[in-house]
Amino acid sequence: SDAPQPRLSREPSLTPRTTLATTTMMTPPPNNPEHKADPQLRHLQFDSGRSRGATSSNHRAEPLRNSTKKKRGRFEALTDDGTPSWPLGESTSHDYKQALIAGKRPCMLLSTGAYSPIHKGHVDIMVRAHEAMAKEFGYYVLGGWISPSSDFYVGPKAVRKSQAFAEAAHRVRCAQIAVQAIPWLHIATWEARQRGGWPDYPVVVSAAAKFINSQSFVDPKVPITVMYVCGTDHAVYAGRGFRKANQGVCVVPRAGQQPWDTTESKLVYGISAVNQNVAGYSSTAARNAIQGHHYSKVAEMLGDRVLRYLTEHQLYGIPPVHVFISCSKLAPDWKLVPKHIMDRALFFFGSKRKWLFPGNNPDDIREQQRQPGRYHLMDKAFVELVREKEQKGQVWFLKDDNLDYKGYPGPKDQKAYARASEWFAKTAGMGKFILDPSWWRDPKRVFKYVRSAEMVVKNFEAGFHEYNAVQELLYQSYGGRIKAVLVPLGASAADRQTSNQ
């Protein structure tokens, strides 16, 4: 279990070693104004990942802002950004009244743990508890909280076990993403915001009970019970109950485990519902899958949106997404690309789609055959790969199929990069391009792939696909989150020549 175990004595203060777990910091795009900091992430110190000082004076690395002065090693409390520590749904007050009318006992569910990272099993255990408490035991469930543990607990534990570590701000955000489709389930931050140390789970349960029963809509004669939801492994500690009013335990077994005994006098409830679909899911398994580059397994356990967030912020050692920018350069050597890189890679090709997929139209076939990229001779397996990745939303062709293109450089298409920018933002989840010419023309700007800003500006304003300019655009827009690639590593010297045609 990722939930903190009961403390028999105060944990020693640990000084993390750099060779062990390292705090994973968010790496935002170097200068992109389209990327506004998440409120939960404002206290993190940004590192643009630049080696050549290309940081704008208006987008410098943000200083570490912390609500706490007291530190244990390098670990700190989650910044209080003014959002509720115990968020409630809009219908909680109404649901409480409905519980009174129905004569049912009202309760809130609560689960704690590291959630490093959160996976579908963490969410599923709350869904099972919600169903069982309502159907099997007659409670009226008003809602639930998932409470990611403090960095004071998760950080030193990661150091001791040499594990990857993500700060509470990231773990909270991932949890929020994971529960977005469940309106009654919310992410509590009270635990992660506590200063100077970490509260054990009984303290968190008491804080939740105190909060919910202090609400103005609660009748003191009919208090709300907070049900601590855990698995059978953690029930060894919590399964005897809290012996406090309005605090109970709901134990959800894993697949193949026997249900925990129900003792209603102690507010201890063992449910029988399990979900075979999440059997074997764990944060440890997810981290191991990341280290082994098994990203399809990671996506299965975490969901695509959580994985996208981890990738965007390069958490748990996830490398940047490779963006291959030339179809004709990739085609001869695509088999040199490791599978774990290709599975996550994006294709941002400067060609028309119909040059690769002309269909049966004779004019389109003739246009395909005229292209110097020799699309009509490309490996059928490569063409099928592009088709499969396009179906997954991983391919974008810059040139519109209706563009009257007769040869390099071709006619201008002033909207080409605006369309591509929208695709990168909405479909690929990477955010928009920097397409403001004045931004590029800042005399303090330093470039990595081009000699001047005009090379990039002229390229995107005309809708051309000059390789160096495209690489610079991607680098400045997304920083270390992506790696713009012209040809695969290991390609022949001839293929490595950077031709812009």
Q: Rounded to an integer, what distance in angstroms lies between the CA atom of residue 488 and that of residue 325?
A: 11
Q: State the first-to-last Cα distance of the chain, in angstroms, to the nearest integer.
A: 56
Q: Kindly report, residue by residue over 286-312, the tens digit of the pLDDT.
A: 999 998 888 889 989 999 889 888 988
pLDDT for position 272: 85
Q: Kindly report, residue by residue over 119-156, the tens digit of the pLDDT.
A: 999 999 999 999 999 999 999 999 999 999 999 999 99
Peptide bond between residue 117 and the one before it cis (omega within 30 degrees of 0): yes
Sequence-distant (≥ 6) Cβ neighbours of residue 248 within 8 angstroms: 107, 225, 226, 227, 228, 241, 242, 266, 267, 268, 269
Q: Are 447 and 31 in contact (CB under 8 A)?
A: no
- Please state the rounded mean pLDDT for residues 256-280: 86
- Please state the rounded mean pLDDT for residues 258-270: 92
pLDDT for position 144: 98
pLDDT for position 410: 86
Is residue 254's pLDDT more than 70?
A: yes
Q: Are 144 and 124 in contact (CB under 8 A)?
A: no
- Please state the rounded mean pLDDT for residues 35-40: 38
| Residue 146 β-bridge partners | 111, 187
Biggest alpha carbon distance in the chain?
82
Which has the higher per-residue pLDDT, 54 or 155? Answer: 155
- Please state the rounded mean pLDDT for residues 359-384: 95
Is residue 316's pLDDT more than 50?
A: yes
Q: Kindly report, residue by residue over 81-103, the tens digit of the pLDDT.
A: 999 999 999 999 999 999 999 99
pLDDT category at 21 given cuts 50, 70, 90 is very low
- Please state the rounded mean pLDDT for residues 181-190: 97
pLDDT category at 408 given cuts 50, 70, 90 is confident
pLDDT for position 490: 58
Is residue 219's pLDDT more than 90?
A: yes
Supply angle C-alpha 203, 209, 210, rounded to 5: 90
pTM of the model: 0.69
User: For residue 132, what is the enclosing H or E element?
Assistant: helix 120-135
Q: What is the mean pLDDT of the chain?
A: 83
How much helix, strand and coil, in percent to the nearest 5, is found in the chain? Answer: 40, 15, 50
